[in-house]
Amino acid sequence: MIRLATLPDAAAIAALYTDLTHEMATLAPTVIRPLNAPKTGYFRDYITDDASGVWVATHADTIVGFALAVTATTGVEAEAVPHRFAYLIDIYLTPAARRQGLGHQLLVAVDAWRQANDLAFLQLNVLAANTAARQFYAAQGFTETTLTLMR
């Protein structure tokens, strides 16, 4: 089941976020550092912020995943086309909860929020080494629009 997060969910979401940082650090150790302690306050702030949305995926009354999106704006620079858009900061499911349609359902909830807030599009970043996530996003209709390179 997918639902909006509430303040009591913040600790469980923060624990999952800690797991996410460990997975990302494995994929990109020169860019991502794994957290050793949950950032519960970070998620409490987003849960209560009107310009963001936090959703949880549950199974048997246990939170097994989350998505966090915020309202963002392009067009600050004169050469940029102005847009208000939804930026998906994070989406995560425990390994046991993957490939069951919950990721798709989280994205549907985020996109419904985007549309309800009249935001032009949904944008996200993904680690290049995260091939499973890249395949998932491609299957959900996302296309690559920018590329960040490092040396």
Per-residue pLDDT reduced to its tens digit, 63-78: 999 999 999 998 778 8
In the block, tokens 């794994």 appear at 34
pTM recorded for the entire structure: 0.93
Element spanning 59, H or E: strand 52-59
Q: Nearest CA to 11 among 56, 41, 33? A: 41
Rounded CA Rg of the chain: 15
Domains in the chain with CATH codes: 2-139 (3.40.630.30)
Closest CA to 35 of 25, 44, 47: 25
Structure tokens at 22: 């460990």
Q: How far is CA 57 from the centre of its chain?
A: 12
pLDDT digits (tens, 9 = 90+) for 83-118: 999 999 999 999 999 999 999 999 999 999 999 999
The pLDDT tens digits for 34-53 are 999 999 999 999 999 999 99
